Structures are given as structure tokens and as C-alpha cells.
Amino acid sequence: MSWDISTASEEWLKDFVSRMKAQNGVLDGPRGGGSVVQLSDNMVVKCGIGVTAQEAATQDFAYQHADHGIVRVPRVYRFFVDKSVGFPRGYLFMEYFRGWCLDHLDLDIHTDIIPRVAGIISHLGSMSSDSQVAPGPVGGGKPKGYLWSDYGTCTVFHSIEDMNTWLNKRIAWLNKRHALHVKSIDLTSQKLVFCHLDLCRRNMIMLRDRSIGLIDFGHAGFFPRFFEIVSLQYLSPYDPDYAEPLRAAVTHQMHLNEEEIGLIELMHRVVSVNLRFIQFPGEVYEHTYFLPEFIRPPNANPPRPPRPPEPLPTLSSPRPPPPPPQKSDRQPPTSITPPPPPPPPPPPPPA
């Protein structure tokens, strides 16, 4: 008997995920975005309160539109929300990328990493959608990540004007609190492009063919292109040898104009306020755990390059649990010499 990820019942899948998690542990998490559990040699599930339909739709958009010769994106197999618990829990089933997280690699040896990531940012910034007129995740939803409060924006932006209003409330508070005269933000002239906004090294994997895979689309969506530069600033305290050179490389390749440079400074001021407050008086907290359906923008540009349809994976059931990942899978490539083994213990003293 076999089962198909697209037709198996949600109850069966939740039980299967629980058994695999108990037997094999987790590959990653939690960092506020859910746990990642390996289900087979080619599939993992990301599950938890912070896993949303918006993240699934955004990752699917990236998979469909990214040039996989530049960056690999895990294919989304299925998403559903468990509404039977107190807080809805999302289950995002996706392709498993086996390789080395970039934070395990020495930047002094792998000198191509920063230029390649800068190229990935440039490529993502070339992706847009005619059907996405509001900033935020694909299909709508609350933006999350370093630029907002710990709980995201708490509200959905339905237009760039909505985002202007939200940002300028923070600027107004800053002016009143510190008797400043910081000018307001106006992003209406800025094009919305695809931004990841969480490009820390742990969210990128060097695969065995040396291509780079990009994971964790919980902060991603459509924003002005320079938002990617702003977000990199907040990686610096944790990984300065990566974030600072990358921010410099991306700033250079974008050829920012004076308006964008000024808006970057204003966004940093907004972030300083967001670190103190979750939401302001009069702002309504909107719950957006699920979308009406799994959204793929109907008027989106065709995928690049054209990809032939691929069958969804079929797994046997019952089946033995998959073996845990080999330690070598999480070690640097063979170009890095491993440390020598410890010396043998000394012989026992003579009797």
C-alpha cells in the first residue's frame, strides 16, 4: 500500500509527522517559525504556529519564477492548517535540500559565497507580479521580520498608501518624543519587487552540485527593492563578516538614487521605534492564519525557465523511519580538511 502527499488525509499526515518527529527529532527549529522534520529522503515538513498560508504561497511563487540556475527554491508539495488546536498550526510539506548550511562554511575559503548571494538578491529583485498591488506576502497578509515589531505589522497593507500611513505613525511618534523634524516617508514611487528579507546564512544551503538553495520564506514578499539592504543591517551584530560585505556589495550593484538612500535612513528610524512597540493606538490586530485558498497569482509572469511538470512523491506506508542525516551532510565540503583524530590514550602504567 502506498500513499500520495496530495491525497492523504490531514489527520493521517499529522499523525505521521508526530511519529517521525518523535523517532528522528527535528532538523531545525524552533526560532518562532516552526520545526522542520524530515519525512523521507526527498521531503520535509515545516510545522508550527508561525507557519502560514502566506509563507507557502510566497515560497511557491519563488519556486515557479526563480531561475534555478541562479538559486534553488524547495518545491511546495502541500499546505494545510490544523484548526483543531488553540492556535492554528500550519503544515508546509516541501522538497528536502541535502547539503551544507552556509553558516557552516568558512568565508575565507568559500570566497564566492558573498558575490553569489548578492547575485541572488539582484535576481529576486527582478521578479514582480502584475496581480500583487499591495506590499507584503504573496496573496496578502501581515509582513513579518526584522523591519517590523516582534509580531510583524499586526495589520495587513492593502496598498502602498496603507504602508505609508503605518510607517509615518512611527515617524510622528519619534518626532514628538524627541522633538525632531524627521520628514515623512512616501513609497508610492517605488516599484514592488520580490524580497526575501531573511538572508542569514542558516537560510541558505550549498547543495552537492554547489548550487545554492534558499529556504524560509516567512519574511518574504513584495516590497521596495532597498528593503533587502535595510534588513541586512540587522544581521550584522550576529554575522558581521558576512552581512557587512554583502550589504556593501548589494548597495553597489543596485546603484541607489538619492531618494532611495534617504528612504533607507528613514526606514532605520522606523525600525528603532518598532523595537519598542508592537502596535500603536487605533491599529487593529488582524488574524491571517489562512488564506481562502492556496494562492498562485493568476496574472503572474510565466516561470523562468519553463519547467516540465513533475510528479508528486509517493511514499510507502507503513515504512521504517528514514535514517537520521549523516554527519557528513552537515559538514563543509571535502575542500576543507577535517581536524585530525585525537591521539590514542596512553598505555596503562606497569603493574
pLDDT digits (tens, 9 = 90+) for 42-89: 999 999 988 999 999 999 999 999 999 999 999 999 999 998 877 889
Q: What is the C-alpha to C-alpha distance for residues 164 and 189, in angstroms, rounded to an integer?
A: 11
Q: What is the C-alpha to C-alpha distance for residues 123 and 195, in angstroms, rounded to an integer?
A: 10
- pLDDT class for 289, splitting at 50, 70, 90? low
Tell me, what DSSP letter sits at residue 311? P
Q: Are 160 and 166 in contact (CB under 8 A)?
A: no
pLDDT at 299: 36
**Any idea which residue has 538612500 for its cell?**
261
Sheet containing 89-95: order of strands: 35-40, 43-48, 89-95, 76-82
Q: What is the C-alpha to C-alpha distance for residues 61 and 59, in angstroms, rounded to an integer?
A: 5
- pLDDT class for 288, splitting at 50, 70, 90? low
Mean pLDDT of 176-191: 93
Q: Residue 13: helix, strand or coil by DSSP?
A: helix
* Distance, C-alpha 256 to centroid of its chain: 24
pLDDT at 3: 73
Q: Residue 108: helix, strand or coil by DSSP?
A: coil
Q: Give pLDDT tens digits for 87-107.
A: 889 999 999 999 999 999 999
Per-residue pLDDT at 291 exceeds 90: no
- pLDDT class for 316, splitting at 50, 70, 90? very low
Q: What is the C-alpha to C-alpha distance for residues 210 and 113, in angstroms, rounded to an integer?
A: 11
Tell me the C-alpha to C-alpha distance, in Å, between residue 10 and each of 40, 81, 87, 313, 317: 18, 9, 17, 17, 15
pLDDT at 340: 44
Those residues whose C-beta lies under 8 Å from the C-beta of residue 45, and which sit 6 or more positions away, are 17, 36, 37, 39, 91, 92, 93, 94
Q: φ and ψ at 6, to 5 degrees?
A: -80, -15
- pLDDT class for 40, splitting at 50, 70, 90? very high
Higher pLDDT, 129 or 328: 129
Q: Give pLDDT tens digits for 210-230.
A: 999 999 999 999 999 999 999
pLDDT at 121: 98
Higher pLDDT, 236 or 290: 236
Tell me, what DSSP letter sits at residue 218? S
pLDDT at 279: 75
Per-residue pLDDT at 4 exceeds 70: yes
Domains of the chain: 53-73+97-276 (3.90.1200)
Per-residue pLDDT at 311 exceeds 80: no
Q: What is the C-alpha to C-alpha distance for residues 43 and 230, in angstroms, rounded to an integer?
A: 33
- pLDDT class for 343, splitting at 50, 70, 90? low
Q: Are 1 and 308 in contact (CB under 8 A)?
A: no
Higher pLDDT, 60 or 130: 60
Those residues whose C-beta lies under 8 Å from the C-beta of residue 254, and which sit 6 or more positions away, are 122, 125, 225, 226, 229, 260
**Any idea which residue has 531561475 for its cell?**
67
- pLDDT class for 275, splitting at 50, 70, 90? confident
Q: Are 42 and 95 in contact (CB under 8 A)?
A: yes
